[in-house]
Structure 1
Amino acid sequence: MKYLSILFLAFLISCKPSENKLTAQQIIDKAIVSSGADKVANSEIKFKFRDKEYIANRKSSGSFKLTRKQKDEKAGFISDVLSNEKFERLVNGIPYQVNDSIANILSNSVNSVHYFSVLPFGLNDKAVIKKLLPSTTVKDKEYYKIQVTFSEDGGGEDFDDIFIYWIGKQDFLVDYLAYSYHTNGGGKRFRAINKEVLKNGIRFVNYDNYKPLNKEISLIDIDKAFEKNELKKLSEINLENIEVQILK
């Protein structure tokens, strides 16, 4: 009877779900809440990035308006505006016609900066495909690793790019991200947090931007290369003058 009781107890323990065995979806959900990114869906966010002003107006209904403003010495004030309906360029407040190929490049450029500025918001979009990779440790901190790819339907022109996010096992915050891309000859990039700031409960992160010294370094092992100083710092991704208004 003693041995039967031990076996029965072992059976109950084995049947109890482990709190550590989270799915990729559960980890992303927790990361969005932990960073306050769930508030992004109903907000107006302004920031400056590399001498350009960015304004994002998003509503819980799903509508959005993403703007980039800049001053050109010859043309004057230029605004590139991407919304659910269209992309539009304004020069000194007047609509300016650009051909489809240029409009597509400008649209992707505006969307990219706004997308990265509020991560992990956006990682639950319909086109996102999530995969849980083996956990890892970077600089003595334990991380979940989530690979993100995109379906061709709704994934945009760069749907075949691959992203990896390092999400802290204790705080569920994104400290590192990496991606491979195919435009302009392709390549890999790794971003490491250098500063974080909270605005109205939303976490914004500045990153140091790296590339591998050796092209053969795989994307999945790029965190190991980072710890071995096998990456070259290219630039800093810094958001300045951040303002956040939560819409009612």
Structure 2
Amino acid sequence: MKYLSAFFLILILTSCENKTTKLTAEEIINKSITVSGGEKFDSANYSFKFRDKLYRASRNNGMFSISREFQQDSLGFIEDVVTNDGFERFINKEKVELADSIANVLSASVNSVHYFSVLPYGLESDAVKKKLLGVVTISNKPYHKIKVTFKEEGGGEDFEDEFVYWIQTETFKVDYLAYSYKEEDGTGYRFREAFNERFVDGLRFVDYNNYKPEIEGISVEDLDDLFEKKELKLLSEIKLETIIMGSTSAINP
């Protein structure tokens, strides 16, 4: 009986492993989006504070408005708004005209904060390319390791950036992510560790410890190994504060 029990245990473990390995990167990402709020994001209205600015998001089945608001001593009250129609800046409630180069930088800045605030939502886009790198262990937990790159068409101005997501094999939640980005003198890297998970009206929000490597000659795929070896430098904490649902006017399609 002892050997028979061991045999069945091996079968169960093997079966679980096979189920894990059969999942594609696309399926893993989709499961992660679902457990994080999924389709609820498609019609969500909410706001949050990040550092010294107020961010608002309103989505209605493809139509969207994402924005930030802040007070600047030299200019006054500033609103930066990105919608399906593009970017607009308002100063003291009046629209101002900007050069395309400046508008693109400001739009990317607004997009970046909103993009990270709701990950992995957004990774279902047709412009996203996903590759499963295998199952790895971080802090004694197993994770699907998935690399994400972007097509030039629909991938935005930073389509050359590369991301890696570490998604728990059991809960399908994103606990870690890393990305590379272009700098004037080369490539920059960041590794983020999620903490302070909370669900607000069914939507998952997290904060991050934000790390960078202090060595050169690496790739974005190496950053989990450096994190495990404690060879990353903690730069900052990225915290979303005062998350309020339904505080932004809904968009009519």
Same fold (TM over 0.5): yes
The answer as to whether partners of 1:200 and 1:245 remain within 8 angstroms in 2 is no
Count of paired positions: 232
Task: Quote the Cα distance in structure 1 between the aligned partners of 2:227 and 2:156.
Answer: 29
Instruction: Give the structure 1 partner of residue 6 of structure 2.
Output: none
Task: Quote the Cα distance in structure 2 between the aligned partners of 1:184 and 1:51.
Answer: 27
Superposed counterparts of 1:222-241, under 5 Å: 222-241=223-242
SS of 1:197 mapped into structure 2 = strand
Deviations 1:14-65 (A, max 9, x none): xxx94221000100110011111431111112000011000001111x0110
Instruction: Give the structure 2 partner of residue 119 of structure 1.
Output: 119
Deviations 1:174-215 (A, max 9, x none): 000000111333211000112111100111010000000112
- Identify which range, 113-122 or 193-202, moves more after superposition: 193-202
Task: Quote the Cα distance in structure 2 between the aligned partners of 1:102 and 1:193.
Answer: 32
SS of 2:116 mapped into structure 1 = helix
Instruction: Give the structure 1 partner of residue 135 of structure 2.
Output: 135
> What residue identity is the alignment partner of 2:67?
T
Instruction: Give the structure 1 partner of residue 174 of structure 2.
Output: 174
> What residue identity is the alignment partner of 1:168?
Q
Task: Quote the Cα distance in structure 2 between the aligned partners of 1:154 and 1:183.
Answer: 22
The answer as to whether partners of 1:37 and 1:118 remain within 8 angstroms in 2 is no
Instruction: Give the structure 1 partner of residue 144 of structure 2.
Output: 144
Instruction: Give the structure 1 partner of residue 11 of structure 2.
Output: none
Task: Quote the Cα distance in structure 2 between the aligned partners of 1:73 and 1:37.
Answer: 39
Superposed counterparts of 1:42-121, under 5 Å: 42-60=43-61, 62-121=62-121
Percent pairwise identity: 52
Instruction: Give the structure 2 partner of residue 4 of structure 1.
Output: none
> What residue identity is the alignment partner of 1:169?
T
Deviations 1:53-86 (A, max 9, x none): 00001111x0110111000112110000000012
Task: Quote the Cα distance in structure 2 between the aligned partners of 1:143 and 1:97.
Answer: 47
Task: Quote the Cα distance in structure 1 between the aligned partners of 2:110 and 2:143.
Answer: 30
Task: Quote the Cα distance in structure 1 between the aligned partners of 2:58 and 2:69.
Answer: 14
Task: Quote the Cα distance in structure 2 between the aligned partners of 1:244 and 1:120.
Answer: 19
Task: Quote the Cα distance in structure 1 between the aligned partners of 2:27 and 2:245.
Answer: 27
The answer as to whether partners of 1:190 and 1:210 remain within 8 angstroms in 2 is yes
The answer as to whether partners of 1:211 and 1:233 remain within 8 angstroms in 2 is yes
- Identify which range, 216-225 or 173-182, moves more after superposition: 216-225
Q: CA offset at residue 221 of structure 1?
A: 1.9
Is there any run of 5+ residues in structure 2 with no aligned partner, and where? 1-16
Is there any run of 5+ residues in structure 1 with no aligned partner, and where? 1-16
Task: Quote the Cα distance in structure 2 between the aligned partners of 1:245 and 1:30.
Answer: 25
- Identify which range, 17-26 or 122-131, moves more after superposition: 17-26
> What residue identity is the alignment partner of 1:121?
Y
> What residue identity is the alignment partner of 1:209?
N
Superposed counterparts of 1:184-203, under 5 Å: 184-185=184-185, 186-203=187-204
Deviations 1:157-176 (A, max 9, x none): 11011000000000000000
Deviations 1:88-120 (A, max 9, x none): 000010001111100000000001100110001
Task: Quote the Cα distance in structure 2 between the aligned partners of 1:217 and 1:159.
Answer: 20
> What residue identity is the alignment partner of 1:84?
N
TM-score normalized by the length of structure 1: 0.90
The answer as to whether partners of 1:211 and 1:232 remain within 8 angstroms in 2 is yes
